[in-house]
A and B are shown apart, each in its own frame.
Chain A
Amino acid sequence: MTTATAPVVRVGRLRHSWLPAWATQYLLWAGGLVLIVGPIIPVVWASLWSTPLYEAGGAPTLTNYQDLLSDPAWWEAVRNSLEFAVLTTIGSVVLGSAMAVLLTRTDLPGRRFFRGALLVPVIIPGLPLLLGWTAMYSPAGYVTRWIEEHTPLPVFWDIYSVPGMSLVSIGIAAPVVYLFARGALASQDSSLEMAARSAGATPLRTLRTVTLPLIRPALLNSSMIVFALSLEVLGLPLILGTSNDIQFVSTYLYDNWLNVVPSRQGLVSAGAVVLLATVTVLLLVRNRLTGDVARFHTVGGKSTSAATVKLGSARWPLFAATGAYFTAVIVIPLGGLLLTAFTTTLTPFIDPWSVLSTTHFETVVDDPVFSRSITNSLTIAIVGGALATLAIAALAIVAHRSAFRHRTSLQYVMVYPRAMPGLVTGMAFFWSFVILDPTGKLRASLWAIGIAFAVRSLALGYSAFYPQLAALGEDLDRAARTSGADWWTSVKTVLFKLLRPAMAVSFVLMFVAMLSDYDPAVFLVTPGTEVMGLTMLKLWVAGSAGPVAALGVIQVAITLLVLGLGRLLFGVRPGA
Chain B
Amino acid sequence: MKTHKGIWAALFAATAMLALPACGVGAESGSDSATTTTKAGATTEPAKPIDLDAAIAASKEEGKLIVYGNPSADQWEPVLAAFHEAYPWIEVETFDLGGAEAFQRFLTEEGTGTNTADVIVNTDGAGWLDLISRGKVVDYVDPELADLPDFAVAAPGVFAMSVDPLIAIFNTKAVPEDEQPETLADLAAMSEDLDGKIGTVDVENGQVGLGTYGYTEERDDAWDVLDEIGPHTKVEDGSGALLSKLQSGEYVGAFMASGSIRALIDTTDTGKVLNYRYLTDATVLPTRGVGITTAAKSPNAARVFVNFLLSKDGQTAGCAGGFTPYRDDVECDQDLAAIEDIVGDGNALVVGYPEDLVTGLPEMRERWDEAFGR
Contact = CB atoms under 8 A, between A and B. Distances in A.
Interface in B5-48: 7, 11
Contacts of B273: 345, 347, 349-350
A138 B108 contact: no
B111 to A, nearest CB: 3
Interface string B100-116: 11001101101110110
A538 B98 CA distance: 10
B234 A243 contact: yes
B119 interface: no
Identify the interface centre among A54, A256, A369, A538: most chain B CB within 10 Å of its CB.
A54
A259 B96 CA distance: 18
A138 to B, nearest CB: 6
Contact of B74 (A243, A367, A548): A367
A259 B264 contact: no
B179 interface: no
B107 A242 contact: no
A252 B1 contact: yes
A479 interface: no
A242 B100 contact: no
B248 A263 contact: no
B361 to A, nearest CB: 8
A243 B1 contact: no
A262 B11 contact: yes
B258 A543 contact: yes
A346 B249 CA distance: 11
Contacts of B107: 52, 54-55
Contacts of A359: 268
B245 A140 contact: yes
A346 B270 CA distance: 8
A138 B111 contact: no
A355 B269 CA distance: 8
Contacts of A355: 269
Identify the interface centre among B73, B239, B243, B269: most chain A CB within 10 Å of its CB.
B269
B127 interface: yes
Interface string A438-478: 00100100000000000000000000000000000000000
Contacts, number: 156
A255 interface: yes
B249 A261 contact: no
B84 interface: no
A73 B249 contact: no
B165 to A, nearest CB: 15
B239 A541 contact: yes
A431 interface: yes
Contacts of A526: 95
A238 B243 contact: no
Interface in B132-146: none
Contact of B250 (A53, A73, A140, A349): A140
A53 B111 contact: yes
Interface in B210-260: 234-245, 247-250, 258, 260
Given A345-B247, A430-B108, A255 B127 contact: no
B100 A256 contact: no
Interface string B192-226: 00000001001011000000000000000000000
Contacts of A256: 1
Interface in B258-313: 258, 260-261, 264, 268-270, 272-273
A523 interface: yes
Given A344-B269, A440-B115, A543 B264 contact: yes
A369 B73 contact: yes
A263 B104 contact: yes
B130 interface: yes
B207 to A, nearest CB: 11
A169 B373 CA distance: 27
Identify the interface centre among A139, A255, A538, A544: most chain B CB within 10 Å of its CB.
A544
A272 B83 CA distance: 44
Contacts of B99: 258
Interface residues of B, number: 63
Interface in B65-123: 72-74, 93-97, 99-101, 104-105, 107-108, 110-112, 114-115
A350 B272 contact: yes
Contacts of B101: 258, 522-523
Contacts of B244: 131, 134, 545
A239 interface: yes
Contacts of A259: 1, 100, 204-205
B374 interface: yes
B60 interface: no
B248 A543 contact: no
Nearest to B67: A527
Contact of B204 (A140, A255, A262, A541): A255
A26 interface: no
Contacts of A139: 250
Contacts of A55: 107, 111
Nearest to B234: A243
Nearest to A444: B115
A261 B248 contact: no
Given A243-B241, A345-B270, A261 B111 contact: no
Given A259-B1, A261-B130, A242 B236 contact: yes
A359 B99 CA distance: 29
Nearest to B99: A258
Contacts of A427: 104, 108
A107 interface: no
B2 A73 contact: yes
A242 B1 contact: no
Contacts of B236: 242-243
Given A243-B236, A264-B4, A346 B247 contact: yes
Contacts of B374: 245
Nearest to A258: B100
A260 interface: yes
Interface in A330-350: 344-350
Contacts of B199: 243
Given A53-B111, A242-B202, A543-B258, A345 B1 contact: no
Contacts of A138: 245, 248, 250
Contacts of B95: 526-527
B126 interface: yes
Interface in A534-576: 538, 540-545, 548
Given A434-B112, A538-B72, A348 B248 contact: yes
B249 A544 contact: no
B164 interface: no
Contacts of B250: 138-140
Contacts of A134: 244, 248
Nearest to B4: A260
Contacts of A135: 248
Given A73-B2, A245-B235, A541-B240, A141 B248 contact: yes
B230 to A, nearest CB: 12
B124 interface: yes
A262 B199 CA distance: 28
A243 B250 CA distance: 12
B1 A543 contact: no
Given A140-B250, A259-B1, A264-B4, A523 B108 contact: yes
Given A349-B272, A430-B112, A522-B105, 14 more contacts: A131-B244, A134-B248, A245-B373, A257-B100, A259-B100, A259-B204, A349-B273, A350-B269, A443-B114, A526-B95, A540-B238, A541-B238, A542-B239, A545-B243
19 contacts: A73-B2, A139-B250, A140-B249, A239-B240, A243-B241, A245-B374, A255-B204, A258-B99, A259-B205, A261-B124, A261-B130, A264-B7, A345-B273, A348-B248, A355-B269, A440-B115, A522-B97, A543-B240, A544-B264
Interface of A: 52-56, 73, 131, 134-135, 138-141, 238-239, 242-245, 252, 255-264, 344-350, 355, 359, 367, 369, 427, 430-431, 434, 440, 443, 522-523, 526-527, 538, 540-545, 548
